[in-house]
Amino acid sequence: MIEKSLKNIISKKSIELGFDKIGFADPKEDIDPNKYLDKWIESKYHGTMQWMESRKKERADIFNYFPEVQTVISLAFNYFTKRSSEFSEDYNSKIKFSNYAWGEDYHEIIKKKLHDIKNEILKHDPSIKIILCVDTAPIMEKQWAQKAGIGWQGKNTNLLTKELGSWVFLAEILIDKRLDYDSPFEEDLCGSCTACIDSCPTNALTEYKIDSNKCISYLTIEYREDFENEDLHNWIYGCDVCQEVCPWNIKFEKIKKDKHFEARDSLINFFKSDWENLNEENFKSSFKNSAVKRTKYKGLKRNIDSLR
């Protein structure tokens, strides 16, 4: 039996909480018909991210992660406040810093919103089983967003939307209740454009595929070893180049008025002067409750030292 009113309840609550797009997908959809994940891992494009390989079966088949799932709910949250290149220019700084990490840790902010939606679902039906996912769960979130009708995976491998471009956080709610499914997003609106590929400073991109070993975001965040001759092109945390040159972003990006993701004062001070004298104390004060803790003090210090 298809539950109809619950879909409206979830959609309404998600918009109230600031999500910009929501879609509902059939978990039986084949999200990787060409075995992209297998080929990507076989090519060692995942670098040192061994969790991608160790939980491959769950990523490839959502029923291996949540056997009872009957609906995959995908949500997109616009986080764009300003371009990283503009931010650096504002403070006459040589360093560049991915804009998704300027404010609070999105994992915590988005997860809290998902819990609010979960509570709304349980008010409607306390028997429903629910799993909340924000980035770290072993599912292919961009593929599920496409199956839920939110957008398409572009040549830069980011999820692109017609209304907002790619400046969106993705999240999922998995439930063991059948809801009305939305139609998948079938179009590829990248067309013949190769701006992201042509502009990638390390040639990490080919069409719809990324080699993490070359990607500045991977190198500055996930990679844990010392650098040899890597050129980070002044990026010390993440990299936004492939998003900044995307025509969909240039035309449709919208500033999100959300204080959680605006640049914090400590980051502004960091840009002005502290980055040159980074120590554990100002790392902790500048990046408290920030996604930057992912790379740790040692990683950020290594990234900065590589610029000299």
CA distances from 109 to 73, 104, 173 (A): 18, 7, 15
Give yes or no for a contact between 156 and 115, defined as CB atoms under 8 angstroms apart. no
State the angle between helix axes of 5-16 and 106-124 in degrees (0 to 180), rounded to the nearest 10: 150
Q: Could you tell me which residues come within 8 angstroms of residue 270 by beta carbon, excluding any fewer than 6 positions away?
A: 282, 286
Other CB atoms within 10 A of residue 50 CB: 9
Take residue 233 and report the two structure tokens written for it.
């092109």
- Strands (DSSP E) along the chain, which ranges? 21-25, 71-78, 96-97, 130-133, 152-153, 159-160, 168-175, 205-206, 209-210, 235-237
Quick one: 22 exposed, middle or buried, by C-beta within 10 A (0-12, 13-18, 19+)?
buried
Cβ atoms within 10 Å of 275's Cβ, excluding its own: 22
Separation CA 35–CA 40 (nearest Å): 9
Q: How far apart are CA 296 and CA 277, in angstroms?
A: 16
Say if residues 177 and 128 touch (Cβ distance below 8 Å).
yes
Q: Which residues are catalytic?
A: 135
At 45 the three-state DSSP class reads coil
Relative to beta strand 96-97, strand 235-237 is: parallel
CB atoms within 10 A of CB 59: 22
Phi, psi of 277 (to 5 degrees): -125, 40
